[in-house]
């Protein structure tokens, strides 16, 4: 077993603390673009909903215009028939035109009812669009503010990260290269926790018991030992 000084163990623990902090900040920074993207896509979804409402409003207005045009055409047709009435010579012809006028008027009256219904729908659709647009403005303001907070978080995260990395590099210069190599090897399979405390014979990395003899040796000697189960480097608090 390699001899190791208490000082080197403490530096390894410190190195690990820095690296855990670095990983935490890094994952927070990495998660921010996703959060910002969610905000933007939420707003886009909202915009699309409003757009659909506006499209159906414009369809309703188109329908209203077509009803209006139809009513006007019918009015002209009635006027024309009324002029014809003055020129007819037979009662039969007269009755036929009257019947025609009556039918045109009936159609117009039906269209007028539909026009009123359509106007009601336009009214409520307009209110709905207005309401949703106001809601959108409030939401967009809140979301943009949240986005700025996330962006500021990312900036301060990057600053903390630089500081931590500098501290980590400083610690690295104080640790024996061979020990760093071993630490990194263990780290690569131990999910970021390479050195762990042993408490009451239990490895805090895997929660398994280590042999009592090893536990005693950890207290007595300055030897680097690894957990027989998870292979992490071990230390005890003296
Ligand atoms: Zn273990």
Tens-digit pLDDT profile for residues 17-68: 999 999 999 999 999 999 999 999 999 999 999 999 999 999 999 999 999 9
> Looking at the domain assignment, is residue 1 inside a domain?
no
Tens-digit pLDDT profile for residues 111-156: 999 999 999 999 999 999 999 999 999 999 999 999 999 999 999 9
> Looking at the domain assignment, is residue 2 inside a domain?
no
Q: How confident is the model at residue 238 (pLDDT cuts 50, 70, 90)?
A: confident
| Domains held by the chain: number | 2
Rg (CA), the chain: 41
> Looking at the domain assignment, is residue 9 inside a domain?
no
**CA distance linking residue 84 with residue 77, whole number of Å:** 11
> Looking at the domain assignment, is residue 10 inside a domain?
no
The predicted model gives 195-200 an average pLDDT of 96
The pLDDT > 90 percentage for the chain reads 91
- For tokens 């780290």, the residue is 187
- Shared domain check, 190 and 99: no
Q: 196 and 205 in contact (C-beta within 8 Å)? A: yes
CA of 4 to the centre of ligand 1 (A): 19
Neighbours of ion ligand 1 (CB under 5 A): 203, 205-206, 227, 229-230
Q: % helix / strand / coil in the chain, to the nearest 5?
A: 80, 5, 15
Q: 68 and 111 in contact (C-beta within 8 Å)? A: no
Q: 82 and 101 in contact (C-beta within 8 Å)? A: yes
Q: Domain range spanning residue 188? A: 177-238
CA of 14 to the centre of ligand 1 (A): 19
CA of 200 to the centre of ligand 1 (A): 13
CA of 207 to the centre of ligand 1 (A): 6
pTM for this entry: 0.69
Residue 1 has pLDDT above 60, yes or no: no
CATH number of the domain enclosing 110: 1.10.287.1490
The last residue of one of the domains, among 175, 210, 229, is 175
Kindly report each contact of residues 85-91 with a partner whose C-beta sits within 8 Å and lies 24 or more positions away, as own/partner: none
> Looking at the domain assignment, is residue 7 inside a domain?
no
**DSSP-derived secondary structure letter, 192:** T
């Amino acid at each position: 077993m390699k001899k190791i000084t208490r000082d080197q163990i403490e530096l390894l623990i410190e190195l690990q603390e820095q690296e855990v902090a670095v990983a935490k900040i890094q994952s927070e920074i990495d998660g921010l673009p996703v959060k910002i993207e969610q905000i933007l896509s939420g707003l886009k979804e909202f915009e699309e909903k409003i757009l659909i409402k506006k499209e159906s409003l414009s369809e309703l207005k188109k329908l209203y215009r077509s009803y209006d045009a139809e009513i006007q055409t019918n009015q002209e047709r009635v006027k024309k028939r009324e002029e014809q009435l003055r020129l007819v010579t037979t009662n039969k012809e007269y009755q036929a035109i009257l019947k025609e006028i009556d039918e045109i008027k009936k159609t117009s009256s039906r269209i007028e009812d539909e026009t009123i219904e359509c106007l009601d729908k336009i009214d409520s659709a307009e209110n709905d669009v207005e309401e949703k647009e106001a809601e959108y403005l409030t939401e967009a303001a809140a979301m943009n503010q949240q986005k700025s907070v996330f962006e500021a978080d990312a900036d301060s995260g990057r600053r903390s990260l630089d500081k931590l990395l500098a501290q980590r590099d400083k610690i690295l210069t104080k640790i024996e290269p061979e020990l760093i190599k071993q630490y990194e090897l263990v780290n690569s399979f131990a999910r970021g926790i390479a050195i762990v405390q042993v408490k009451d014979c239990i490895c805090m990395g895997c929660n398994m018991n280590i042999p009592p003899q090893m536990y005693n040796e950890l207290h007595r000697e300055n030897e680097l030992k690894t957990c027989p189960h998870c292979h992490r480097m071990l230390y005890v608090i003296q």
